[in-house]
Amino acid sequence: MLEKFKDYLRVKAGLTDEQFTAISGKLKTRKIAKGTILLRQGEVCHHSFFVSSGLLRSYTIDTAGKEHIIQFAPENWMITDRSSNYFNEPSELFIDAIEDTEFILVTNEFIDAAACSSQSFQRYDNRALHNHIRHLQSRVSLLLGATAEQRYLDFIKLYTELTLRIPQWMIASYLGITPESLSRVRKELAHKNFKPY
Amino acid sequence: MKTRNIELILTPPAPHMVGDGFRVHNFIPGYRLNMQRMSPFIMLDYNSKFYFPPTDKPRGVSVHPHRGFETVTIAYHGKVAHHDSAGNSGVIAEGDVQWMTAASGVLHKEYHEKEYSKQGGDFQMVQLWVNLPAKDKMSKPQYQEITNASINKYTLPGNNGVIEVIAGQYEDAKGTASTFTPVHLQNAKLNKGAVVPFTFPAGYNTALLVIEGSIRVNGEEKAPADNFVVFKNDGETFTIEALENAVVLVLSGEPINEPIAAHGPFVMNTREEIVQAFNDVNMGKFGYLEE
């Protein structure tokens, strides 16, 4: 399972196999069943999760008990609560498994050790942080000002292959619209683009 | 003509649910067979006989797409209703076959038929995916609804049973299903004691699924119900002997020797074509169908 993460870091962060092997003892691999909760609201998040197979998500639950999905993490994605982890504060998020999932528990010790041994990793880590901020800015702006269709088009660009794995209500929750609105968007797109045979 | 020998006999792997209506053993692609090995048969799910209790809410599989191949549903027990995004719908009942050419793209759903669901009962079906050659993968979707009455049957001499020819040919009985590459698909309904020869070109990938009863192949190896017999490509002819009254699905087809890129419900030739399929589904190019 570590192989996938090693490949990922070689390609994305320029971490050599030797550098990886020297610090890979700071990583742990886990296998969990669909529905397993990895982080609960109120807990402090101490790691990142790298998904090697399966699918994780992060979400909040509002005072009325409704879930709002923040992020999906399929294979080769990382997911965590960055602010809880960095500031050592209780998290507002839940993270759980939508499918049976194998993941790597990436400890802060691993990140620190990788940054010490590789400048290229430092640049990657910095870029990953700014990419995260860019993504959040774009999410805020879409949620405040975009139509349901624009939000859906943004979703399928980012998560092209997830539309067949995730139930409709979860996509709607991520987009901040009702499942009925999502159906309407899809119906309208089909109306524009479907050429019946 | 040379004898075609058995390569392996697979016992049914542990079943898994497809949606909540299909409890299937997956033989192709499986722990022993990949898509290329059994081409043009690239997927075979077998719902062995299973009792579903009565329910008011029909069980099944909700809306999903297909592109790049054909789905063939063969019903032995129970009934399935299907609907697609182009407005087609129908019921596949016991003895019937639905041959759906998904080709460039179909969005459909399959549920147990309403009345069958209300009454409950035994359910036994095969869903087979037949690959399409690259040149036909983006052709027009179509259906062949093959009712049992319309299937040509060859009556074996000596009260030995009948061969129902869905596709291809057995003696003078020709299957009515039209196929893109040479495919033989036949239900051999044999009476106890029958010894029946089958002959297909050695290069065709060939297998048997024992639906009912038990059989002996080539006078040697026995295969009980729900077992899957895969043949080598070392000869043309084999025999099935019915050790008791038996129903056997016989599959034989010319391999399509092209690259396969498969992901979930799409089977194409390249990774780029798979990404395109996802994009097309997401953009509504397969149409829309209510859950």
CATH number of the domain that A31 lies in?
Answer: 2.60.120.10
Tokens of B69: 């191949």
Q: In chain B, which residues have their Cβ closer than 8 Å to the Cβ of A168?
A: 291
Chain A residue with CA closest to B274: the answer is: A161
Summarised one tens digit per residue, pLDDT across range B207-256 is 999 999 999 999 999 999 999 999 999 999 999 999 999 999 999 999 99
- Expressed as residue numbers, the domain containing A86 is 2-118
> Are B282 and A160 an interchain contact pair (Cβ–Cβ within 8 Å)?
yes
Summarised one tens digit per residue, pLDDT across range B183-198 is 999 999 999 999 999 9
Flag whether pLDDT at A196 surpasses 80. no
Total domains in the fold of chain A: 1
Residue A197: per-residue pLDDT: 66
> Are A197 and B141 an interchain contact pair (Cβ–Cβ within 8 Å)?
yes
What kind of architecture, by CATH, is found in domain B6-253? Sandwich (2.60)
Q: Is residue A96 part of a domain?
A: yes
Chain B residue with CA closest to A188: the answer is: B284
Q: In chain A, which residues have their Cβ closer than 8 Å to the Cβ of B64?
A: 164
Q: Which of B87, B281, B284 sits opposite A192 (nearest CB)?
A: B284
Beta strands in chain A (DSSP E): 27-32, 37-39, 47-53, 56-61, 67-73, 78-79, 94-97, 101-107
Residue B169: per-residue pLDDT: 98
User: Listing from the earlier edge strand, what are the strands of the sheet with B60-66?
Assistant: B60-66, B106-112, B80-84, B89-92
- Sketch the domain layout of chain B as residue ranges: 6-253
Q: Which of A164, A168, A186 sits opposite B284 (nearest CB)?
A: A186
> Are A193 and B140 an interchain contact pair (Cβ–Cβ within 8 Å)?
no
Query: B116 phi and psi, to 5 degrees?
Result: -60, -45
Kindly report the nearest CA distance between residue A162 and chain B, in angstroms. 9
Kindly report the nearest CA distance between residue B10 and chain A, in angstroms. 27
Q: Is residue A7 part of a domain?
A: yes
State the pLDDT confidence band at A62, using cuts at 50, 70 and 90: very high
Kindly report the nearest CA distance between residue B144 and chain A, in angstroms. 15
Q: In chain B, which residues have their Cβ closer than 8 Å to the Cβ of A190?
A: 85, 284-288
Q: Is residue A173 part of a domain?
A: no
State the pLDDT confidence band at B103, using cuts at 50, 70 and 90: very high
Chain A residue with CA closest to B289: the answer is: A187
Q: Is residue A84 part of a domain?
A: yes
Summarised one tens digit per residue, pLDDT across range A129-174 is 999 999 999 999 999 999 999 999 999 999 999 999 999 999 999 9
Q: Is residue A154 part of a domain?
A: no
3-state DSSP assignment of residue B220: coil
Kindly report the nearest CA distance between residue B169 and chain A, in angstroms. 30
% of chain A residues with pLDDT over 90:
98
Q: Which of B263, B283, B291 sits opposite A189 (nearest CB)?
A: B283
Residue B195 CB-density burial (10 A; 0-12 exposed, 13-18 middle, 19+ buried): middle
> Are B85 and A190 an interchain contact pair (Cβ–Cβ within 8 Å)?
yes
Scanning the structure block, which residue is given the tokens 């196999």? A17
Flag whether pLDDT at A14 surpasses 90. yes
Residue B291: per-residue pLDDT: 83
Mean pLDDT score, B60-80: 97
Chain B residue with CA closest to A196: the answer is: B86
Summarised one tens digit per residue, pLDDT across range A86-122 is 999 999 999 999 999 999 999 999 999 999 999 999 9
3-state DSSP assignment of residue A16: coil
